[in-house]
Amino acid sequence: MTPRQRIAAFGVAIAGLVTCYLWAFAGLPGFGRYPGPYGPVILRNAVAQTNATGVVSAINFDYRGFDTVGEEFILFTAAAGMAVVLRLLRGEGERSPVDEAAGRRVPPTSGAVRMPALLLIGPTILIGWWLSSHAQTDPSGGFQGGVVLATAFILVYLSGEFIAFRRISPVDLLDAVEAIGAGGFAAIGVTAVALGFPYLYNFLPLGHTPGAVSSSGTIALISFFVGLEVGAAFILIVGELLEQTLIVRSR
Amino acid sequence: MTPVAAATPYPVPNALMATLQVTLLVLVAAGAFVVVRTRDRVRLVMTLSAYGVLLAVLFFAFQAPDVTLSELTVGAVALPIAALLAIAKVRKREE
């Protein structure tokens, strides 16, 4: 194939793509005009049905909870895959995270990094905890909360040493927390089945006040478990990457 | 079954909100261009992180605070950290 033929073939392909793309665009509903029936139905009924004012969470953890279980296990699988791929290989040894070049001095963490990181650890944990436990009332949820909680652990690394990060995040404990989080979500669904409801049916009492933290039945509980799972998974992933960068070196 | 009420149209924003939304859309497009054009790897991560913040603001202006939070945590924090660590690892091997 000569370059000219190649360009001609590309021209035909791109013309076809542009035509189809513009054609598809012309048929789109107008900006913000949602044509389906599902959205309005949910908007009208969600708060009355679930007592959760965080309607997005009601959708994620109740109406389409089954999808969310799958999504949660994507992250679970990612963390597990990471642990498998980044394990110590034959011929690799663990060494302490100190610089090995004799003449080179590792610059200490600058105060400009250390101070803000130290100051932010507390508030970050608070925000992460708040997000994980308020899915039912506010735009938040276990996923966001879990990642924010994991960020607090990364701040510990930034403000100190890798050793400190390792000490506060033992892998065995994180593995257990991640398993409890992922398993807890699935177990809530199975419990509903055991009680004679469909999988992930919201079987807990919904509370009396929409928008109260204690309202919304299984939605709040699932969000909490998701927070555990996501937080532990992210700390594991980052820890695994830090270990690869700082400790594991081929012999 | 009675037909569901006509789809709720997006509440037409006032001129100020519309301007904000259009500005953000343009900024996000420009930001994507900057990210793609950045060649240096560490700088790329920084622009990517800033782009994540920009996207988060965009989602917020389009009334999606949930997505804003997810984008902030994953796009602006988690992804850049993972990318930075991977770069550090590769660099170490190259030395």
Q: Within an 8 Å CB–CB cutoff, is residue B2 touching chain A?
A: no
Is B63 domain-assigned?
Answer: yes
Indicate the residue of B8, B73, B81 with minimum beta-carbon distance to A40: B8
Using a CB-CB cut-off of 8 Å, the residues of chain B touching A154 are 81
Quick check: A113 contacting B, CB < 8 Å? no
Phi/psi at A104 (5° precision) = -105, 135
Instruction: Give domain status of residue B5, yes or no.
Output: no
Give residue B50's domain range.
12-94
Q: Determine the Cα–Cα distance for residues A140 and A217; give it in Å rounded to an integer.
A: 16
Other beta carbons within 10 Å of B89: 17
Q: Work out the number of other CB atoms within 10 angstroms of the CB of residue A90.
A: 5
- For residue A146, the model assigns a pLDDT of 92
Q: What is this structure's pTM?
A: 0.82
pLDDT at A171: 86
Pick from A179, A184, A181, A170: which is nearest to A235 by CA? A170
Residue B4 lies in a domain: no
Task: Yes or no: say if A174 and A16 are a contact pair by the CB < 8 Å rule.
Answer: no
pLDDT of A107 above 80: no
Name the residue of chain B whose CA is nearest to A249's CA. Answer: B93
Q: Do A151 and B7 touch (CB under 8 A)?
A: no
The answer to whether the CB atoms of B7 and A234 lie below 8 A apart is: no
Of A31, A40, A242, the CB nearest to B4: A40
pLDDT at A123 over 90: yes
In a domain, B82, yes or no: yes
Q: Does residue B4 have a pLDDT over 50?
A: no
Residue A187 to residue A184: CA distance in whole angstroms: 5
B89 lies in some domain:
yes
Instruction: Answer for the pair B41, B87: CB distance below 8 angstroms, yes or no.
Output: yes
pLDDT for B12 equals 57
Contact A68, A61 (CB under 8 A): yes
Residues sharing a CB contact under 8 Å with residue B38, sequence separation 6 or more, in sequence order? B44, B47
Indicate whether B7 belongs to any domain. Answer: no
Report if residue B64 sits inside a domain.
Answer: yes
Q: Would you say residue A139 has pLDDT above 90?
A: no
Of residues B39 and B17, more confidently modeled: B39
Structure tokens at A104: 């080179």
Q: How is residue B22 written in tokens? A: 């259009």
Residue B78 lies in a domain: yes
Q: What are phi and psi of A87, to 5 degrees?
A: -70, 170
DSSP three-state, residue A36: coil
- How high is the pLDDT of residue B18? 84
Query: B7–A35: do the CB atoms touch at under 8 Å?
Result: yes
For chain B, the domain total comes to 1
